[in-house]
Every structure is written in structure tokens, then in C-alpha cells.
């Protein structure tokens, strides 16, 4: 039982929670801005900051614990049938697109799915396995993952400002270090995580706007359904606005085979 708890990322989630609230406590003990606001009876900003931290922690657990889009059963093997008009115009296009069978869990993989050895599941629209959340990022939790990054970035930028304003002057370097040692450590942690979250958020928003996953971007020429496509073009790209809208507003499972077929048929007609 203990090993199973550890295998689900319990230690990582506990470390994230403890680190988050420890840094928050340090900021409240040292931050000049928060102290000034409390002295004047203004509790709105400290309360809002705590609520944002709580929201980021709750989103972290939601992304970490939810099903990222596991493939749990075999789908329909014949996922796409072209109509007669398309068959006449594109006779060389196959009438059906067959799904691959995973060599690990022996299930038929929908297009864009990949088996994660860490989770031991095939994941729909697999993006990557994130060790910090202890879970895969896939079709179901990817939008929430980006929302979490946005909220986390807001918290980190605010915490960066609070930490910077909280440094107390000292008569000497030794005295300054004694006064600000814990705040300096918190400031370093905040800076590192701010840079990481910014890089993650920018890269994911770019890939989402192109309708490309991290796995597809990194392994483009090794993926069977992509290696014959032009390097600069994704078969699932429908324009930035449609890509973003479908990514954040689609609640059902997407049949990527249909979009892929439309792309192939359109290029066959050119």
C-alpha cells in the first residue's frame, strides 16, 4: 500500500504543497507591502493573494489527479469511411483508416494517442508526462494544465514583487543576510519557478495555436502519421482561432482521424 501511494506521486504533490505554503508564510512574515496594508486595516490584497495561492494549489491537484484521457477499451477499427464523391475524386485514398494496437496494453490506439510507460496507460492526444504533477498531460487535462500555468504565473509574479519589497536593510552584509536569509531563499525559488512557468506557458500556447503536441513537435519525423507530411505543416492545424477555440471549448473526445483524412484529401486534390 505504501509503495502504491509513493508511485502515484504522493511525495511530489506533498513537496509542492509544503513548498508553496512555506514560501507564502515567509512572504507574509517579511513582505513590507503586506505589513503596511495590514497596519492600515486593508486586508483585501493579502486575502486575494492567499485565495490565488489556494486556487493554484487546487488546480495543481486537479491536473495531477484527473484522468488525462486514458484509452480504456478498443475503439471502432474502421474509424473513417469516405463518401462516393470523394472516392471518385481521390481514388488512391483508402476507404478506412486503421488504428494501431499498442504493444504494451494491447489496446487499439486512436490517432495522436501514445503509451506512457510511467502511467502504464495509452493517453489520447498525448502531450507529455510531467514529473512535477506526477501525471500525463493529455486530451482531457491539457486545457486545465494551461489554465493552471496562467494562475501559477500570476501568483509567482505577485510573489516576486512581494519578496523584492520585503528585503530589510542591514548595517552590514552579515546583518543583512541574517535578516533576509529565508526571504532570499524564497526569492530564489520564486525566480526559478517564474522562469520555468513562463517558458512552459509560452511553448504550450504556441503549440496549441498550431494544434501540435509536445510529443509530435519533438518526434515529428518518427511518428507514422506525420513523417510523410511537410515539416512546416500540421495535418490537424485549422488556423489559430479555430485551434484555440476547439482546444479550450471542446468537451468531447475528438476523432482526429477525420481531420487527418480531410487534410490528406485536400492535399491529394492539389
Structure confidence at residue 85 as a pLDDT band (50, 70, 90): very low
Distance separating alpha carbons of residues 79 and 258, to the nearest angstrom: 8
Q: Which of 153, 150, 122 is nearest to 136 (CA)?
A: 122
112 is a domain residue: no
**Structural domain tally of the chain?**
1
Q: Which helix (H) or strand (E) covers residue 135, if one does? A: strand 135-137
Distance separating alpha carbons of residues 208 and 145, to the nearest angstrom: 12
114 is a domain residue: no
CB proximity list for 197: less than 8 A, separation 6 or greater: 149, 152, 153, 156
Instruction: Return the half-sphere exposure (C-beta side, CA atoms, 13 A cut-off) of residue 238.
Output: 13
* For range 104-110, the mean pLDDT: 86
188 is a domain residue: yes
Segment 18-49, tens digit of pLDDT: 999 999 999 988 877 776 776 666 788 889 99
41 is a domain residue: yes
The answer to whether residue 116 scores a pLDDT higher than 50 is yes
Burial of 69-101, coded b for 16+ CB within 10 Å and e otherwise, reads: bbbeeebeeebbebeeebeeebeeeeeebebee
1 is a domain residue: no
The label of the residue with cell 501514445 reads 114
The label of the residue with cell 485551434 reads 243
Q: Where are the alpha helices (DSSP H) in 131-210?
A: 142-165, 173-210
The label of the residue with cell 511553448 reads 203
Is 232 or 167 the better-scoring residue by pLDDT?
Answer: 167
Could you tell me which residues are beta bridge partners of residue 136? 129
pLDDT at 84: 40
> What domain range is 170 assigned to?
11-67+140-269
pTM reported for the whole predicted model: 0.85
226 is a domain residue: yes
Distance separating alpha carbons of residues 186 and 161, to the nearest angstrom: 12
Segment 140-192, tens digit of pLDDT: 999 999 999 999 999 999 999 999 888 777 667 777 777 788 889 999 999 99
Report the mean per-residue pLDDT for the chain: 83
The answer to whether residue 8 scores a pLDDT higher than 70 is no
φ and ψ at residue 94, rounded to 5 degrees: -65, 150
Neighbour tally for 257: CB within 10 Å: 19
Under a CB-based contact definition with an 8 Å cutoff, are residues 64 and 8 in contact? no
Kindly name the residue from 122, 130, 136, 229 that is annotated as catalytic: 130
84 is a domain residue: no
Give yes or no: 130 in active site: yes
88 is a domain residue: no
Amino acid at each position: 500500500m505504501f509503495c502504491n501511494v509513493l508511485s502515484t506521486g504522493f511525495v511530489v504533490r506533498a513537496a509542492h504543497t509544503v513548498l508553496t505554503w512555506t514560501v507564502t508564510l515567509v512572504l507574509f512574515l517579511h513582505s513590507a507591502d503586506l505589513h503596511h496594508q495590514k497596519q492600515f486595516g486593508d486586508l483585501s490584497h493579502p486575502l486575494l493573494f492567499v485565495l490565488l495561492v489556494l486556487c493554484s494549489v487546487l488546480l495543481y491537484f486537479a491536473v495531477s489527479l484527473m484522468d488525462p484521457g486514458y484509452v480504456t477499451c478498443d475503439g471502432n477499427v474502421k474509424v473513417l469511411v469516405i463518401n462516393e464523391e470523394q472516392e471518385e475524386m481521390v481514388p488512391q485514398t483508402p476507404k478506412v483508416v486503421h488504428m494501431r494496437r499498442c504493444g504494451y496494453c494491447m489496446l487499439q490506439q486512436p490517432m495522436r494517442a501514445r503509451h506512457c510507460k510511467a502511467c502504464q496507460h495509452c493517453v489520447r492526444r498525448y502531450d507529455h508526462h510531467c514529473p512535477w504533477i506526477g501525471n500525463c498531460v493529455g486530451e482531457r487535462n491539457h486545457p486545465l494544465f494551461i489554465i493552471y500555468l496562467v494562475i501559477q504565473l500570476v501568483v509567482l509574479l505577485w510573489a516576486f514583487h512581494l519578496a523584492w519589497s520585503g528585503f530589510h536593510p542591514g548595517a552590514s552584509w552579515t546583518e543583512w543576510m541574517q535578516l533576509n536569509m529565508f526571504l532570499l531563499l524564497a526569492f530564489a525559488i520564486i525566480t526559478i519557478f517564474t522562469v520555468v512557468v513562463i517558458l512552459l506557458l509560452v511553448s504550450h500556447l504556441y503549440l496549441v495555436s498550431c494544434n501540435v503536441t509536445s510529443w509530435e513537435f519533438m518526434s515529428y519525423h518518427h511518428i507514422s502519421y506525420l513523417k510523410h507530411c511537410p515539416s512546416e505543416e500540421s495535418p490537424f492545424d485549422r488556423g489559430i482561432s479555430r485551434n484555440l477555440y476547439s482546444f479550450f471549448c471542446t468537451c468531447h473526445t475528438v476523432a482526429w482521424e477525420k481531420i487527418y483524412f480531410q487534410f490528406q484529401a485536400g492535399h491529394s486534390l492539389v
